[in-house]
Structures are given as structure tokens and as C-alpha cells.
Amino acid sequence: MYAAIKHIHLLTVAISLGLFLLRSVWMLLDSPQLQKRWVKILPHIIDTALLVSALSLCVIIGQYPFAEGWLTAKVLGLVAYIVFGTLALKRGKTKTIRTAALVAAFISVAYIVGAAIKHSPMSWLG
């Protein structure tokens, strides 16, 4: 069961990041594709599956955010990613702000991946 849920989790991570990258390119190009209905709905469906798989893995392995440092780091990194991603794709008032937020969002993702792989809040430095 663990292996199946972990694969679902990693797959939804890849799809979520792929969609974010695609939407980021469209934002940089001022593409009207960003206004399509599926572009606004699909990320929420994927991210819900991602969250459910993450919570399932926590239960299976018996480790939880705010009890395990590396999981707390992932949650805090996720919050940063969401804030920066929202600024990049929706709330940034200028292209410069959106681009800077986009870079910060991808740095947040790199931190989260490092914390997940190293099981350390120090991420890649751990």
C-alpha cells in the first residue's frame, strides 16, 4: 500500500509542477490560455489528490508535520510555494513582480524536494 500511495504522490507532484511550469510560461507570454476553464480547474483537482496522498503517507509511516522537522519544513515550504505561486500567476501587479515570485516559487519547490529526499529541514544541506 505504501509503495502505491508514494507513486501516486510522486506522480501528482510531477503533474502539479508540470502544470505550474506550463501556466508560468503562459503568464510570461501573456497567453490567453491562462483564462481557459480547464486551466483554472485541473490544478485544484491534481493538488487535492497530491494533498490526500501526502496525508495518507503521513498516516502510513506514522510521521506528522509539527512532530517531525523535515515534514514541518515541507509544509512551510509548501505555504511559501503557494504564496509565491499565487503572486506569480494571479496577484502580482507587474510582470517584474510576477517573474520574481515565479523564481521564488521554484526555489521553494527545490527546498521542498530537498527536505523530502534528505529527510531534513536543512533540505539539500542536511
| 71 and 38, same domain (yes or no) | no
CB 103 within 8 A of CB 87: no
Of 62, 88, 106, which marks where a domain is finished? 62
| 51 and 4, same domain (yes or no) | yes
Of 14, 42, 62, which marks where a domain is finished? 62
Whether 126 has a pLDDT exceeding 90, the answer reads no
| 44 and 73, same domain (yes or no) | no
CB 115 within 8 A of CB 74: yes
| 77 and 58, same domain (yes or no) | no
- Burial of residue 113 (CB within 10 Å: 0-12, 13-18, 19+) is middle
Number of separate domains in the chain: 2
User: What does the mean pLDDT of the chain come to?
Assistant: 95
Measured in residues, the chain has a length of 126
Of 62, 84, 99, which marks where a domain is finished? 62
| 5 and 53, same domain (yes or no) | yes
First to last CA, the chain: 29
Which neighbouring-strand residues pair with 68? 65
**pTM, whole model, 2 decimals?**
0.91
| 34 and 71, same domain (yes or no) | no
Count the alpha carbons within 13 Å of 118 in the hemisphere toward its beta carbon.
16
Give the tens place of pLDDT for each residue, 31-69.
999 999 999 999 999 999 999 999 999 999 999 888 999
Give the tens place of pLDDT for each residue, 79-109.
999 999 999 999 999 999 999 999 999 999 9
- Domain range for 35: 1-62
Residue with cell 509548501: 78
| 57 and 93, same domain (yes or no) | no
Joined grid coordinates for residue 74: 515541507
